[in-house]
């Protein structure tokens, strides 16, 4: 099996799995139970994980990290948590890019009904926000800018440092969705001048069920849940100790080892892109080829449809992802719920057709043999589908 759908979640590092296991089997104490060792050790473990995540993100203090359950929750806690403060300040305008994740887009779609105004910055074919466009879009009543550090579908990396500078100068709160980038490129909250940063363990070799939000001292958040004051009241509810411990170990491994494996992933990504780019003149890469995550290759192929590509790769034991409408929501109850990716639409992929889009995202475990195998089977798959395609004429 060749797993190249790492944007959907990485294989947990065995060292993470080993660290997590005792917190499921024997160390089951509730971290709020401070007065017996079984509980207190859970509390101590969570605080150690907090310090590890803070170090990974270059956060000045561990207490600036709040644990949540996943990236979507971190994004919701960050944005919805900040809005009451913004309202008090008389602000009602928000800026995002048109390629933000659903957990950002859908929050703002609802906010429009509550009188908020949202500007979506265009990205063009490169997928990259022009910082000058951001400068022009900022108004006196702009409360928040939310632009991801990198995009999971097209792999492009934004100029987050420049965006952060602009936000700081304008006195606007800057949220960075770093779920796709963390574990692949450095996520430095201070270098980005970021006020709020979301990361999720499942994207950097941790286990599903733990994520975090960095909150700068500048930001006053209102919690989404009311409860027993866990996470300093910002995220009440019993903590997922095992997953959080795993996230701490995963963060340590990123801090110690990413500089070693990321360049190798980047090299494999280039090898993949060179190989597949030469195969067909009707294959088009999506997003910038230079400012992109290591080991991320995304493209669409004319005359063939994404779900069919995805299925044929899977039949060859190669697991990747597609952004075509057809593959978007197989569990939907209505064809109306099949929608082509808003990210691909933004970078100019013709989504009035079921574009044959594919995304291959590697991990630190991906080998050159894996990439070569994908390259080897690709012509057969594409030829099979073009032979079937009514408008293929080459």
Partner 1 sequence: MGMSPYSDKVMDHFMNPRNMGDLADANAVGEVGNPACGDVMKLFMKIGDNETIEDVKFKTFGCGAAIASSSMATELLKGKKIDEAIALTNQAIVNALDGLPESKIHCSVMAEEAVEAALVDYYNKAGKDVAEIEKMKAAVKATKE
Q: Measured from the CB of residue 332, what is the shortest distance to partner 1 in angstroms?
A: 4
Torsion sign, CA atoms 166, 169, 170, 171: positive
Work out whether 8 is an interface residue with partner 1 (CB under 8 A): no
Distance CA 390, CA 247 (A): 49
Work out whether 349 is an interface residue with partner 1 (CB under 8 A): no
Work out whether 327 is an interface residue with partner 1 (CB under 8 A): yes
By the 10 Å C-beta count (0-12 exposed, 13-18 middle, 19+ buried), 392 is classed as: middle
Total Cβ atoms within 10 A of residue 338: 16
Among residues 17, 137, 289, 338, the one that binds partner 1 under rule CB under 8 A: 338
Work out whether 335 is an interface residue with partner 1 (CB under 8 A): yes
Nearer to partner 1, 232 or 384 (CB): 384
List the strands of the sheet with 283-285, edge to edge.
283-285, 296-301, 356-361
Work out whether 331 is an interface residue with partner 1 (CB under 8 A): yes
With left for phi above 0 and alpha for psi between -120 and 50, is residue 295 left, alpha or beta?
Answer: left
Work out whether 353 is an interface residue with partner 1 (CB under 8 A): yes
Q: Which stretch binds partner 1 (CB under 8 A): 40-48, 152-160, 189-197, 324-332?
A: 324-332
Tally helices (H) and strands (E) across the chain: 11, 12
Work out whether 377 is an interface residue with partner 1 (CB under 8 A): no
Among residues 56, 326, 347, 371, the one that binds partner 1 under rule CB under 8 A: 326
Work out whether 5 is an interface residue with partner 1 (CB under 8 A): no
Residues belonging to the chain = 394
Work out whether 90 is an interface residue with partner 1 (CB under 8 A): no
Q: Binding-site residue total for partner 1 (CB under 8 A)?
A: 33
Pairing of strands 65-68, 117-121: unpaired
Give the end-to-end CA distance of the chain in Å, rounded to a whole number: 33
Q: Which of residues 114-173 bind partner 1 (CB under 8 A)?
A: none
Which listed residue (167, 182, 326, 354) is catalytic? 326
Among residues 14, 290, 390, 393, the one that binds partner 1 under rule CB under 8 A: 390
Nearer to partner 1, 140 or 387 (CB): 387
The DSSP output letter for 155 is -
Q: Measured from the CB of residue 307, what is the shortest distance to partner 1 in angstroms?
A: 4
Nearer to partner 1, 152 or 306 (CB): 306
Work out whether 336 is an interface residue with partner 1 (CB under 8 A): yes
Nearer to partner 1, 3 or 205 (CB): 3
By the 10 Å C-beta count (0-12 exposed, 13-18 middle, 19+ buried), 48 is classed as: middle
Q: Which stretch binds partner 1 (CB under 8 A): 144-152, 286-294, 345-353, 370-378?
A: 345-353
Q: Which residues contact 22 (CB under 8 A, 6 or more apart)?
A: none
Among residues 190, 329, 367, 383, the one that binds partner 1 under rule CB under 8 A: 329
Residue of 366, 365, 343, 339 whose CA lies nearest to 150: 343
Residue of 388, 176, 183 whose CA lies nearest to 303: 388
Q: Which residues contact 164 (CB under 8 A, 6 or more apart)?
A: 174, 176, 191, 192, 193, 194
Nearer to partner 1, 268 or 326 (CB): 326
Q: Which of residues 298-317 bind partner 1 (CB under 8 A)?
A: 303-308, 311, 315
Distance CA 150, CA 128 (A): 9
Work out whether 324 is an interface residue with partner 1 (CB under 8 A): yes
HSE-CB at 385 with a 13 A cutoff on CA atoms is: 19
Both tokens assigned to 135:
């400068």
Nearer to partner 1, 223 or 348 (CB): 348
Q: Which stretch binds partner 1 (CB under 8 A): 26-34, 114-122, 141-149, 323-331?
A: 323-331
Reply yes or no on whether 354 is catalytic: no
Nearer to partner 1, 104 or 340 (CB): 340
HSE-CB at 144 with a 13 A cutoff on CA atoms is: 34
Q: What does the binding site for partner 1 look like in residue numbers (CB under 8 A)?
A: 303-308, 311, 315, 324-327, 329-338, 340, 351-355, 387-391
User: What are the residue numbers of the active site?
Assistant: 326
């Amino acid at each position: 099996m060749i797993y190249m759908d790492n944007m959907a979640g990485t294989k947990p590092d065995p060292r993470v799995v080993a660290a997590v296991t005792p917190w499921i089997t024997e160390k089951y104490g509730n971290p709020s139970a401070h007065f017996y060792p079984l509980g207190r050790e859970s509390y101590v473990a969570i605080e150690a994980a907090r310090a590890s995540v803070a170090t990974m993100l270059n956060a000045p203090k561990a207490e600036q990290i709040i644990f949540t359950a996943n990236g979507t929750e971190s994004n919701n806690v960050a944005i919805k948590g900040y809005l009451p403060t913004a309202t008090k300040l008389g602000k009602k305008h928000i800026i995002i890019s048109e390629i933000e994740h659903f957990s950002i887009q859908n929050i703002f779609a609802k906010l429009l009904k509550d009188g908020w105004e949202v500007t979506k910055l265009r990205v063009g074919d490169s997928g990259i926000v022009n910082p000058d466009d951001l400068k022009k879009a900022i108004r006196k009543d702009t409360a928040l800018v939310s632009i991801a550090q990198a995009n999971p579908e097209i792999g492009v990396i934004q100029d987050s440092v420049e965006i952060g500078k602009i936000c700081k100068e304008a006195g606007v709160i800057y949220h960075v969705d770093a779920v796709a980038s963390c574990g692949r490129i450095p996520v430095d909250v201070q270098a980005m001048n970021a006020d709020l940063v979301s990361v999720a363990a499942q994207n950097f070799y941790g286990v599903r069920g733990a994520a975090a939000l960095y909150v700068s001292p500048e930001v006053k958040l209102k919690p989404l849940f009311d409860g027993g004051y866990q996470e300093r009241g910002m995220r009440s509810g019993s903590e997922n100790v095992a997953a959080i411990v795993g996230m701490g170990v995963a963060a340590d491994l990123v801090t110690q080892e990413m500089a070693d494996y990321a360049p190798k992933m980047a090299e494999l990504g280039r090898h993949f892109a060179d190989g597949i780019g030469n195969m067909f003149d009707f294959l088009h890469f999506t997003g910038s080829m230079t400012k992109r995550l290591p080991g991320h290759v995304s493209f669409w192929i004319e005359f063939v449809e994404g779900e069919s590509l995805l299925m044929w790769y899977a039949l060859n034991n190669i697991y990747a992802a597609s952004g075509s409408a057809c593959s978007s929501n197989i569990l939907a109850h209505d064809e109306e719920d099949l929608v082509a990716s808003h990210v691909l639409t933004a970078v100019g992929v013709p989504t009035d057709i079921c574009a044959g889009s594919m995304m291959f995202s590697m991990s630190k475990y991906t080998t050159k043999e894996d990439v070569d195998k994908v390259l080897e089977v690709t012509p057969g798959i594409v030829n099979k589908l073009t032979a079937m395609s009514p408008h293929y004429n080459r």
